[in-house]
Structure 1
């Protein structure tokens, strides 16, 4: 009951701040305030507007809002989001471009389940849609999943990915971004033994912790410093009375958000102060740069406790993927079984979350895969976000990923040479 009370207390704090922001906005917006020759009321209203929006976004799942796609026919085609597989903890979505002939490149984006919704990859999806049929894993907020649906841990995650790959078929090109990279690798190895015909054609791993010990970061240092008991005591709570998942043990999204923001507290504080001043001077807009970023960044979701804890213990502490000792339902998943899936790794030179060396370690683990089916890329001066959604992704990495997919398309297998860009 104590952990549930803490969860509800946190929600009460969020609700109160949202209410205070809305009240300040209303108070500072009365017409009579225009008679006061002082910016006080404008600043109160601006603070209220920014505060109310900030705290309301923390419990709202963002929309995809994918813009229409232009095609060779000169027309703009509307994008609809279709659910292909619906599961308790996550769905498989397809971004269908209406009125357009299906593209030969089929890409499955494995979105992270690390605090934010899959919409974090909105710009990645939009950049791929002109050239690909795009599918994505859409993980659900654990607070909305009844306890009766059971557990969801790291092994269940791998089985979900394997089922999604199996459904899409062997002509699929998987792109795993950050956290799911080691698990997408494990899912591919799982299929290599259980259902070889269902393996994807290519697997691109972007900024993922395949071997966390290959390069130290603040994330890996934290994982070494705390014991599993300490971690559970510090971050695990139970969903409160307001949501369908009441009683489920989770790592709350609001607690994750506080950790994210504390890493760059000064820059976030500056951004919000500047936004308040812009609103007060009527220079801000509903979809300006600040709101576009923070509407997504502040939208957080709860993770099941068993998924978070098993990820820390098995990927970061026990290095089960890095040492090729991962198991699913007690059965070893041997990465050496991957023998015909082309694998490419992408890293950012200035990635402070999954540092260079952690992801490319995957290639050494694939002892059964010929060198001509391995590739790697290190993007100069790129941080973590930039390698899948920023300028580095758009200008450099995306073309390389598409070339990698094309080089391993049917009929091109014998033309593939080892591709390594530094």
Structure 2
């Protein structure tokens, strides 16, 4: 089976490095070595500890680790992570705050399927939970999905979003982070024609490639330089027999991680060198800043090959969303059909993945939406991660997003103007066809 050997070799290399780290840490920690005043012994043990932890995290799905949230009553309320709807490639998850009444704000957070798990947005969820009921798309690792579940491309992704929006109800506010921004826009436009009563009240697009050519970056340049044939030959592999998805064609998470690391290799090398020194000196901790960041950053998942290739081909190369030529299930989706959903874009001035200009391009596509329903924000000095999970998000962007949600909380009337809201938690559950 073509490419399966390559996939298994990557996993073998990862497993071997994890074993080497464990061995070095164990051997250099023998009590007898305490008699030798040699710093290399401590450094070897420290390198082993850091290496074992790092390579082990690459195949582990992180926990949400959101235990409780402070309510308006000043008490801590326990949080349960509940799967409210399950599909082969994604679970719709709700963070159920125990003992708290339904909140006026209901938010669907659309996590990216770009190599990391939805837990990458843990801090985003934590920051929204005190003020809203939060749902999130929890995309599954393709290596764990049997071939019998079928394909999954960007059209399927879009239809998943349509399904989730219908199930939660119309009184929701959607926030799409990075990769899903263009597909969330398409899903909303799909609903505008198929089931307008199921559209969300507002849509916030954060750092997404609506028009990748608006401001080219290394990511968009790569998509333009490489042909689809080259990409398929160099990046796509078959899952090995170790996993439930054996035989499925995927873009491996380990390849994506290597790409991520290479973009800032000097910074990552320095971070790991400093961490090894801290471990050797006894200054590290289980949940110190390095471990908190890299436990999440190194945890990667495989993407279905059809999804990865169709994203590159249709979003980046052919720019179907930017040209308003996107087709779902044989039907063209017209973004101009969105007439009642308020749309806000958020960008970071130092975003080197989705540079300023790429996301705000969505507003020009919304030809049927009144100007008072459109908004944009450019966060000065913020990079890609900062606009949804860093200091810029916490201090500046989050309050603006919540204000935008509140300003568009009421249900639109037939004329497109806002009417009376149904109140918290009373969105009708729309039946699926």
- Shorter chain as normaliser: what TM range? over 0.9
Report the Cα distance in structure 1 between the residues aligned to 2:317 and 2:183, rounded to whole angstroms: 15
Matched residue, 2:332: 332
Cα distance per residue 1:126-182 (max 9 Å; x no partner):
000000000000000000000000000000000000000000111010000000000
Shift of 1:411: 7.7
* 2:388 counterpart SS class: helix
Aligned-residue offset at 1:44? 1.1
Query: Secondary structure of the residue that 1:285 maps to in structure 2?
Result: coil
Alignment of 1:315-330 (within 5 A): 315-330=315-330
The answer to whether the aligner puts 1:263 opposite 2:266 as a matched pair is: no
Q: Hey, what's the Cα distance between the residues in 1 that align with 2:273 and 2:390?
A: 24
Question: 1:157 maps to which residue?
Answer: 157
Partner of 1:56: 56
1:210 aligns with 2:224: no
Hey, what's the Cα distance between the residues in 2 that align with 1:265 and 1:157? 32
2:274 is aligned with 1:295: no
Q: 1:33 and 1:123 mapped to 2: Cα distance?
A: 42
The gaps in structure 1 that reach 5 residues or longer are 416-422
Q: Check the 8 A contact 1:67/1:78 in 2, yes or no.
A: yes
Provide the residue aligned with 1:174 in structure 2. 174
Deviation of 1:67 (Å): 3.6
State the secondary structure of the residue aligned to 2:59: coil
By how many angstroms is 1:2 displaced? 3.8
Higher relative CO (Cα under 8 Å, sequence separation at least 6) belongs to 2
Matches of 2:159 and 2:48 in 1, distance apart? 45
Asked if residue 374 in structure 1 is aligned to residue 374 in structure 2, the reply is yes
User: SS at the partner of 1:82?
Assistant: strand
Structure-1-length-normalised TM-score = 0.97
The alpha-carbon deviation at position 414 of structure 1 amounts to 5.9
Query: Which aligned pairs between 1:236-315 and structure 2 lie closer than 5 A?
Result: 236-315=236-315
In 1, the alpha carbon distance for the partners of 2:418 and 2:84 equals 33
CA RMSD in angstroms, aligned pairs only? 1.1
Name the CA distance, whole Å, in 2 between partners of 1:18 and 1:58: 10
Cα distance in structure 2, aligned partners of 1:198 and 1:220: 33
The TM-score, its normalising length taken from structure 2, stands at 0.95
Question: In structure 2, how many angstroms separate the alpha carbons of the residues matched to 1:361 and 1:67?
Answer: 38
Q: Secondary structure at the match of 2:279?
A: helix
| 1:358 correspondence with 2:358 | yes
Q: Given the superposition, is the C-alpha separation of residues 202 and 157 from structure 1 closer, same or farther in structure 2, using an over 3 Å criterion?
A: same
The match for 1:420 is none
1:14 match: 14
CA distance in 2, matches of 1:72, 1:141: 36
Q: Distance in 2 between matches of 1:231 and 1:302?
A: 16
Alignment deviations for residues 11-64 of structure 1 (CA, whole Å, 9 cap, x no partner): 000010000000111101111111001112111110110000000000000000
